[in-house]
Amino acid sequence: MPKVQVNSDTFLEYDKQGNLLTALEQAKFDVHYQCRQGYCGACRCRLLSGNIRYLQEPLAFVRQGEFLPCCSIPIGDIAIELVD
């Protein structure tokens, strides 16, 4: 199971069920998002190390070093930072 390091001090194990946003929510992380209200891009996070794969191409513009957890999964262990 891939491990996700969040904000350099907390870890969770990604159980390969659903996307990263769902895994973060289940682990009780406070992730800002508006995906379910029709706005794409609010859940963006910084990818500090490792790789992700998009399940579907995001609608929002994503800068270098950022990703959207609502439509991605980790490829192996990753380290991320939640953006306020």
Per-residue pLDDT of 29-82, as tens digits, reads 988 888 766 678 889 999 999 999 999 888 888 999 999 999 999 999 999 999
Tell me the pTM.
Answer: 0.88
Task: Provide the pLDDT confidence category of residue 15 given band limits of 50, 70 and 90.
Answer: confident
Whether pLDDT at 24 is above 70: yes
DSSP 26-53: HTT------GGGT--STT-EEEEEEEEE
User: Which among 40, 9, 4 is positioned nearest to 25, based on CA atoms?
Assistant: 4
Which one-letter amino acid corresponds to residue 30? Answer: D
